[in-house]
A and B are shown apart, each in its own frame.
Chain A
């Protein structure tokens, strides 16, 4: 079973929910529960879980290299490049790496076979364990603009074909390509929001994304919950989405969060809430998850 934690708005508590949920599930289902941090631009789950990392893998992209002795400056590659990463000047093809999407179109189209490819590292994948919980994360290299290939490689590396186990995917904020990449193939979407006009606005966007692209069973967690909750509740009701859990606005919880503590270790009541949350999610996903050790 794959559960993606998303939010639209940043800072609503995705990582808090993901890390605590994974920790609680791993107590019941040791060694088959994973926390996969897919927020590769700002991966933070490790701060709460302190995993021992045991494996690493680089994510690379393939960039074109033009052999000047074989290039006839015909311009086929320049015309084929949709990103203006190639230009023809003074009988030579110039390459602008920053604009390249590493699609390989130029390599394939060159009639002289004058383009080969070289690998460039765009990110790093890591996995390991934190007690009974298994852990994986991807990190985008600073200065590279494309998180999607890192997320895609991370999911391919960690998720087995048969989906045996429980996988909690912590997504990045927003509702564009990185979130799409994370949600793709999930069994359940858990939206974490806060009762502010910002929280509501961005929740609407990510709920709409799910409705349009995936139609996953979904539910809402209201973090920093309080008097203004009706703001979120109204929208949840209109969309037929259940509010599955609330975490109150509390300085004490914020302080525990600030120093990287798992809230379930501080608050037994919260641990019970999260156990119930997982039971509800299990009930709402179509397929029975398989717990057996693979």
Chain B
């Protein structure tokens, strides 16, 4: 099973639109497993209309909670906390803001009054769903929660295990924006990363950072340029960059305001605008498989 991850650096360049269209192209020909690991803004389900079959609680790390009856207000917990999670409120009481607690439990170990307890809390859920394009693994991290990287790993490991058990041909993963912990967790162990970018100074800037991050983990990369005719000069610079860095070009998608409207149909672009986009995404998929297979 080959694992292909879609990332971008900059958000909103079209990762999910590309993922859904590829799913639509690939699923009639190959056995496909899908994962959406953009766990704090999971959108692939909007286009693939999955039917949730199993829901699992995501029990993230621990958080520390101060027992106010036992607390002697010495302030040692505030001193040892490196995440600014402990604060003294107006009444002079020390409280832990769970949004900032990383669960290191240093305060629990150092508290001279043994007044700090550990609690495990649910910070999201993940799902195994059926869809017309294959089984989809996706998740929902509750707003403001930590440990998105851990949830990414959870969803991906589950999808990978399922794919191996059912002898799937491809695992297609819709990734998160940025280059932080969800992205590094998503990159871990994939066969190729497709970077979806756009010919804007910001898109190019973030594409370079995404490429560096993939290089850091030695993952082969391909480039898709969305809105490719928006700024031909920047597009050409991106093409030169990708050629210099040995990043294969998988495809160019034109600037098309119809795409924004077509999304409201909540279906892959290859279905809502088939004449325009079915052939284009078929070629993109061909280029991806050529690169992935030659890298292996």
Q: Residues of A with Cβ closer than 8 Å to B?
A: 8-12, 15, 41-42, 44, 47, 62, 80, 82-83, 101-105, 108-109, 140, 142-148, 152, 172-180, 184, 194, 196-198, 201-202, 205-206, 208-209, 212-213, 224, 226-228, 231, 249, 251, 254-255, 257-260
- Taking a contact as CB atoms under 8 Å apart, the answer to whether B264 and A103 are in contact is no
Q: Mark B229-271, 1 if CB is under 8 A from A, else 0.
A: 0110110000000000000000000010100110110100000
Binds A, one of B27-35, B66-74, B198-206, B274-282: B198-206
Residues of A within 8 A of B82 (CB): 62, 102-104
Q: Mark B19-37, 1 if CB is under 8 A from A, else 0.
A: 0000000000000000000
Q: Residues of B with Cβ closer than 8 Å to A?
A: 8-13, 16, 38-41, 43, 46, 61-62, 80, 82-84, 99-100, 102-106, 109-110, 141, 143-146, 148-149, 176-185, 198-203, 205-206, 209, 212-213, 216, 227, 230-231, 233-234, 255, 257, 260-261, 263-264, 266
**CA A190 to CA B194, docked complex, whole Å:** 32
- Taking a contact as CB atoms under 8 Å apart, the answer to whether B106 and A10 are in contact is no
- Total A-B contacts with CB atoms under 8 angstroms apart: 207
**CA A244 to CA B182, docked complex, whole Å:** 32
- Taking a contact as CB atoms under 8 Å apart, the answer to whether A249 and B255 are in contact is no
Known: A9-B41, A103-B83, A145-B184. A177 touches B146 (CB 8 A): yes
**CA A82 to CA B12, docked complex, whole Å:** 35
Known: A42-B209, A205-B143. A173 touches B106 (CB 8 A): no
- Taking a contact as CB atoms under 8 Å apart, the answer to whether B209 and A251 are in contact is no
Name the contact of A10 in the complex, choosing from B12, B144, B212, B231 (C-beta under 8 A).
B12
- Taking a contact as CB atoms under 8 Å apart, the answer to whether A142 and B212 are in contact is yes
- Taking a contact as CB atoms under 8 Å apart, the answer to whether A82 and B61 are in contact is yes
Chain B residue nearest to A150 (CB atoms) is B180
What are 12 A-B residue pairs whose CB atoms fall within 8 Å in the complex? Answer: A10-B13, A41-B183, A41-B209, A44-B201, A44-B202, A108-B110, A140-B180, A145-B184, A172-B177, A177-B148, A255-B230, A259-B200
**CA A10 to CA B149, docked complex, whole Å:** 18
Name the contact of B202 in the complex, choosing from A47, A147, A209, A224 (C-beta under 8 A).
A47
What 19 new A-B contacts, CB under 8 Å, besides A42-B177, A142-B212, A255-B231? Answer: A41-B178, A42-B178, A42-B179, A42-B202, A80-B109, A83-B104, A101-B102, A105-B109, A108-B110, A143-B184, A144-B180, A147-B178, A176-B39, A180-B144, A196-B260, A205-B41, A213-B99, A213-B143, A258-B198
